[in-house]
Amino acid sequence: MTFKAKLWHGLKQVRTFFSDLSTKIVHWLEDKNRTNVLFLAPYVLLFFAFIVIPVFLAIILSFTYFNGIQFPTFNGFNNYLYILTEDDVFMKTVLPNTLLFSLVVGPGGYALSFMLAWMLSQVTPKMRTILALIIYSPSMTAGVAIAVVWKILFSGDEQGMINSWLLQLSLLDEPLQFLQNPDYLMPIMILVSLWSSMGVGFLAILAGLLNVNKELYEAAYIDGMRNRLQEIFYITIPSIKKQMMFSAVMSIVGTFSAGAIGVALSGSNPTPQNSGQMIINHIEDYGILRSEMGVAAALSVILLLIILAFSKFFQRILKEDE
């Protein structure tokens, strides 16, 4: 048999093999359960690789002493006891800062998202699209890039826009160091975070509002509903509870896991007198700067439990009636 004939015979065998293989795959996929498993497999694998396994490892490391070089050694609850009893910065500054920031930005951004989404649902589609893009765009910008814009406004010299205006109005004798002053840093962080909080949760609420059945409003007005406020509380909110739940969870996770904005604005970690220090910054401090991985893991577990607690609280509030 010549080389050309052997090559042609080999190619026919390869084609037959792949043809049989494709037929077997099609027959295997005809089972709907197998198809579902196949489509879910990539997500499940990624979820376990980047969520479940890291959380599991963090919980294990939180009960050890680990400096990133030597093998971890078990030390029980020492890391948690140290954080809760000996870490004065955490109990006096970091935890109160995180709770204050989250309880203002979380509900504030959530309420602002709902109000803006409701107002946009009342305008024409073309105008709604333009305004929604304008409102949503800050959330697509990285925190560091956002900080650059706001640092120009709150710069601590005469070139800063806020200082320039206040000096021109003779309200100040000399420029204020807004981003280095502990009295101003946290309010500025809250302002910037509220400005950039119209993200996916805002779009989810807007989508829910646009899909509320209009016949419900007509029926309610026939039954005696009198104004827009009653319309919101008796028709709109009950109809979009799923979207509001999604927005609430996204808001909780986003605010409690924030921290880069304070460091980006002040230019240092820790922030001046720890005035903008959050749990995330404290985790970076222990894990990266001090190489105390066990304490950093314990802090991350505490943060996870706080987020879970607030998520369950909002789930109870927004739980749909059976």
Residue 141 and residue 22 in one domain: no
pLDDT digits (tens, 9 = 90+) for 35-78: 677 777 788 889 888 888 888 889 999 999 988 888 888 888 99
Task: Choose the most confident range, by mean pLDDT, from 23-32, 72-81, 238-247, 269-278.
Answer: 72-81
pLDDT tens, residue by residue, 105-114: 888 888 888 8
Q: Are residues 54 and 199 in the same domain?
A: no
Please report, for the domain that includes residue 169, its CATH number: 1.10.3720.10
| Predicted confidence band of residue 81 (pLDDT cuts 50, 70, 90) | very high
Res 107: pLDDT: 83
**Digit-coded pLDDT (tens) for 171-215:** 777 888 888 888 888 888 888 888 887 877 888 888 888 888 888
Higher per-residue pLDDT: 83 or 12: 83
Task: Provide mean pLDDT across the span 82-96.
Answer: 89
In this structure, are 194 and 140 located in the same domain?
yes
As a whole number of angstroms, the distance between CA 179 and CA 148 comes to 12
So what's the pLDDT on residue 322? 41
Q: Is residue 74 part of a domain?
A: no
Confidence of residue 87 (pLDDT cuts 50, 70, 90): confident
Is 72 within the bounds of a domain? no
Judged against a pLDDT cut of 50, whether residue 88 lies above it is answered with yes
| Residue 261: pLDDT over 70 | yes
Which one-letter amino acid corresponds to residue 256? F
Residues 11 and 95 grouped into a single domain: no
Q: With residue 293 as reference, give the H or E element that holds it.
A: helix 293-317
36: exposed, middle or buried (Cβ count in 10 Å: 0-12, 13-18, 19+):
exposed
Distance of alpha carbon 106 from alpha carbon 95, whole angstroms: 16
Predicted pLDDT of residue 142: 61
Nearest to 199 by CA among 105, 307, 263, 101: 105
Q: Is the pLDDT of residue 7 over 60?
A: no
pLDDT in tens, 281-321: 889 888 888 889 999 999 999 999 988 888 888 777 766 54
The structure's pTM equals 0.76
**23 and 39 belong to one structural domain:** no
How far apart are alpha carbons 58 and 288 in whole angstroms? Answer: 15
Asked if residue 40 and residue 24 are part of one domain, the reply reads no
Q: Quote the crossing angle between the two packed helices 241-256 and 200-210, to the nearest 10°.
A: 170
> Confidence class of residue 260 from pLDDT cuts 50, 70 and 90?
confident
Number of domains the chain is built from = 3
The answer on 98 and 191 residing in a single domain is yes
Residue 28 is predicted with a pLDDT of 62
Regarding whether 104 and 23 lie in a shared domain, the answer is no
- Residue 299 shares a structural domain with residue 198: yes
**Is residue 82 in some structural domain?**
no
Range of the domain at 54: 35-59
Average pLDDT over residues 248-259: 79
pLDDT tens for 113-164 read: 888 888 888 888 889 889 888 888 887 776 666 777 788 888 877 777 888 8
65 domain residue, yes or no: no
Among 61, 98, 106, residue whose Cα is nearest residue 252: 106
Model pLDDT, residue 297: 93
Average pLDDT, stretch 242-250?
Answer: 81
Q: 270 preceded by cis ω (within 30°)?
A: yes
d(CA 161, CA 151): 9
pLDDT above 80 for 27: no
